[in-house]
A and B are shown apart, each in its own frame.
Chain A
Amino acid sequence: MFPNRAAVEGVGDAAQLAEIKGRSLWADARTRFFRNKAAVVSLIMLGLIGAFALFGQFFAQYDKGFVDFSLIGSNANKGVPSIENGHYFGTDSNGRDLYARVVQGTGISLMVGIVGAMVAVIVGTLYGATAGYFGGRIDGAMMRIVDVLMSIPFMFVLILMLVIFGRSIFMLFLGIGLISWLDMARIARGQTLTIKNKEFVEVAVATGVRPIKIILRHIVPNLLGIVIVYATLLVPSMIIFESFISFLGLGVQEPNTSLGALINEGARTMQFGYYWQIAYPLFFFVVTIFAFFFVGDGLRDALDPKDR
């Protein structure tokens, strides 16, 4: 009754052919991403800003801690940005080279954002995936912990911590690490609940693959799309969060600085006409934030399965 399976015959001869490289879903997403102009431009901007933060200090004419005493008292006319005297971005109100300070501030702001996002990706994803995969009581307990942590007013707690234990970058990272993963854990758990009912997970369970392998091999790679999008959008909000704390004067400590701290200083002297002291940090801040948002948007469009 059935037609003969011709397809199988003659397969042996073809076996010698070279292996064909497959196009993964990631490769497809990459193609879609690179078709999005705004996202690509933003990615380039981010690359440039990253390079600025990493290598900018090699072009600085002054050390970031060097106080140019010759300028004190005449900041308004001698401290203006100029190529000749080497203060490309002018000087700050203490006579330090603003270019070197902006390089340092950009670096620290980026680091805050990236550390926050990394904690979120690693802790949040694994936590959420584990809770979602095991379900039942384990899920209930794990997610209630998240709910409790979320109900704590973190800004308040962090400010208290900074006041009690003193202001330090470590405390700042600790505080940011503690909050950033909570949302991610919820997102990852929600996704896991749908993924774990897919048949390929059942196949793996039936074959006897261990739960930890199932989470790492079958669940996490399938939630990575949404995790990456959320992480890129998390970076700017972490930067904004840090800036806010620094703006309150509780963030990073002198001699270190961040974009938020620089903007804070710049805002104080803006009224005296030292516009450059706020303009340069603000420029880098705004460009970084916007670039991250555009890249995040581009990634979401590229990874969204609905467009396929």
Chain B
Amino acid sequence: MNPLLSVRNLSVTFDVRRPGSWPWTPAMKLHAVSEVSFDLQPGECLGIVGESGSGKSTIARAIVGTIPSSGGNIFFEDHDLANMDTRQRRVHRRDVQMIFQDPLAALNPRMTVGEIIAEPLITHEPNTPRKEVKRRVGELMERVGLLPNLINRYPHEFSGGQCQRIGIARALILKPKLIICDEPVSALDVSVQAQVINLLMELQRDMGLSMIFIAHDLSVVKHISDRILVLYLGRVMETAEAHKLTTAPEHPYSQALISSVPIPDPVLERARHRPILEGELPSPLRPPSGCVFRTRCPKVQPDCADAKPALEDVGGRHFVACPYHEAQQVLVVNE
């Protein structure tokens, strides 16, 4: 089967200038994403985890096409995003939709809910009769758990969870093939988080959507994802099938991430082995030489500073970027 989306060696760098520097001094290069590759099959859900600043949103934006990539290729249905013609780009804009972290900020405060949800439809099918637009908006509001009679309300009259449902309805109205959820629940209450995640899982199953689900916390991602990709400082550390990655991670960073998720049982919690991450995330302006994780790695070796470890296939589509990897059984959380 051909993958729906295939990302090859994607790199994104931003030019940053120190405030007050001369206009002719060269800008510093911020490596937000470096050499990221993955495939996404139709109907599959890929989870991307990583700390704040690891480049998750940047990957999402590059796939959607709102920022240019500075290296590598993104193929959507075998078309290279970088050299699409106008018509293909329009199709791409329809087929890939995004859901954002801050639900209220993603909704224009001057538009009614109905107008917000209908905007993609009106943009791509401008000749749809008003009645039909309204009917489809109403249907979709019902589908995501909003009362259709709220269609004339404004975003500030809704709660965070409801706003996120509006965002979901907006993303779904064109029946896209891929939706990218950029930390869709991070800003929500825990109980509401669960509702929104369940809704997304249900919609994904019913509509056969492919999905990229971004979070900084593994416990959210593992329920919804088929595969998980662990990102650190813009680089892929490990990628594997979700169950394998959460139960038997091989990369020291993934192991640390998983053991940072607390277990509700105090006895188990005390008994478990816990590599604690120390120190700060290094600046993406000056990433460490060799393995980017070496400044915080509990298993660091002298030669880790020499070469960038390549992604190594350890069997069963499980890839690890660490020559000193070893399987470590971690206690399974909330299973």
A and B assemble together: yes
Tell me whether B149 and A20 are in contact (CB under 8 A): yes
Tell me whether A20 and B110 are in contact (CB under 8 A): no
Closest beta carbon of chain A to B61's beta carbon, Å: 8
**Is A268 on the interface with B (CB-CB < 8 A)?**
no
Contacts of B61 in A (CB 8 A): 202
| Residue of A5, A12, A207 most packed against chain B (CB within 10 A) | A207
| Complex CA distance for A18 and B119, rounded to whole angstroms | 23
**Is B150 on the interface with A (CB-CB < 8 A)?**
yes
| Complex CA distance for A1 and B102, rounded to whole angstroms | 24
**Is B123 on the interface with A (CB-CB < 8 A)?**
yes
Contacts known (A22-B154, A200-B107); A5 close to B195, Cβ less than 8 A: yes
The 8 Å CB contact of B151, one of A11, A19, A203, A209, is A19
| Complex CA distance for A172 and B334, rounded to whole angstroms | 76
Tell me whether B198 and A4 are in contact (CB under 8 A): yes
Tell me whether B108 and A218 are in contact (CB under 8 A): yes
Tell me whether A206 and B105 are in contact (CB under 8 A): no
Closest beta carbon of chain B to A227's beta carbon, Å: 13
**Is A222 on the interface with B (CB-CB < 8 A)?**
yes
| Complex CA distance for A19 and B152, rounded to whole angstroms | 7
Tell me whether A200 and B105 are in contact (CB under 8 A): yes
**Is B170 on the interface with A (CB-CB < 8 A)?**
yes
Closest beta carbon of chain A to B91's beta carbon, Å: 9
Contacts of A4 in B (CB 8 A): 198
Contact residues, B99-133 vs A (CB, 8 A): 100, 102, 105-113, 119-120, 123-124
Tell me whether A199 and B105 are in contact (CB under 8 A): yes
| Complex CA distance for A8 and B110, rounded to whole angstroms | 27
Contact residues, B79-104 vs A (CB, 8 A): 89-90, 93-94, 96-98, 100, 102
Contact residues, B291-335 vs A (CB, 8 A): 334
**Is B157 on the interface with A (CB-CB < 8 A)?**
yes
| Complex CA distance for A19 and B147, rounded to whole angstroms | 9
| Complex CA distance for A218 and B90, rounded to whole angstroms | 20
| Complex CA distance for A114 and B197, rounded to whole angstroms | 53
**Is B65 on the interface with A (CB-CB < 8 A)?**
yes
Closest beta carbon of chain B to A179's beta carbon, Å: 30
Contact residues, A181-222 vs B (CB, 8 A): 198-200, 202-210, 213, 217-218, 221-222
Tell me whether B195 and A7 are in contact (CB under 8 A): yes
Contacts of A205 in B (CB 8 A): 66
The 8 Å CB contact of A199, one of B102, B149, B153, B170, is B102
Tell me whether A207 and B93 are in contact (CB under 8 A): yes
Contacts of B262 in A (CB 8 A): none
| Complex CA distance for A15 and B191, rounded to whole angstroms | 25
CB closest residue in chain A, given B148: A15
Tell me whether B108 and A3 are in contact (CB under 8 A): no
**Is A2 on the interface with B (CB-CB < 8 A)?**
yes
CB closest residue in chain A, given B182: A199
Closest beta carbon of chain B to A24's beta carbon, Å: 5
Closest beta carbon of chain A to B88's beta carbon, Å: 12
Contacts of B167 in A (CB 8 A): 203
| Complex CA distance for A5 and B108, rounded to whole angstroms | 27
The 8 Å CB contact of A22, one of B148, B157, B194, is B157
| Complex CA distance for A22 and B152, rounded to whole angstroms | 5
Closest beta carbon of chain A to B118's beta carbon, Å: 11
Tell me whether A15 and B149 are in contact (CB under 8 A): yes
Contact residues, A5-29 vs B (CB, 8 A): 5, 7-8, 11-12, 14-15, 17-25
Tell me whether A206 and B93 are in contact (CB under 8 A): yes
| Complex CA distance for A200 and B156, rounded to whole angstroms | 14
Contacts of A210 in B (CB 8 A): 123
| Complex CA distance for A112 and B118, rounded to whole angstroms | 41
Contacts of B109 in A (CB 8 A): 25, 222
Contacts of A3 in B (CB 8 A): 191, 194-195
| Complex CA distance for A200 and B195, rounded to whole angstroms | 23
Tell me whether B153 and A11 are in contact (CB under 8 A): no
| Complex CA distance for A21 and B157, rounded to whole angstroms | 11
**Is B142 on the interface with A (CB-CB < 8 A)?**
yes
Tell me whether A15 and B106 are in contact (CB under 8 A): no
| Complex CA distance for A209 and B174, rounded to whole angstroms | 14
| Complex CA distance for A22 and B142, rounded to whole angstroms | 18
**Is B199 on the interface with A (CB-CB < 8 A)?**
yes
| Complex CA distance for A217 and B154, rounded to whole angstroms | 15
Besides A22-B113, A202-B66, A203-B167, 5 other CB < 8 A contacts?
A11-B142, A17-B147, A199-B102, A199-B105, A222-B108
**Chain A residues with a Cβ under 8 A of chain B:** 1-5, 7-8, 11-12, 14-15, 17-25, 198-200, 202-210, 213, 217-218, 221-222
User: Which 9 A/B pairs are nearest by Cβ-Cβ distance?
Assistant: A208-B93, A2-B194, A22-B153, A8-B145, A221-B110, A199-B106, A199-B105, A200-B108, A5-B195
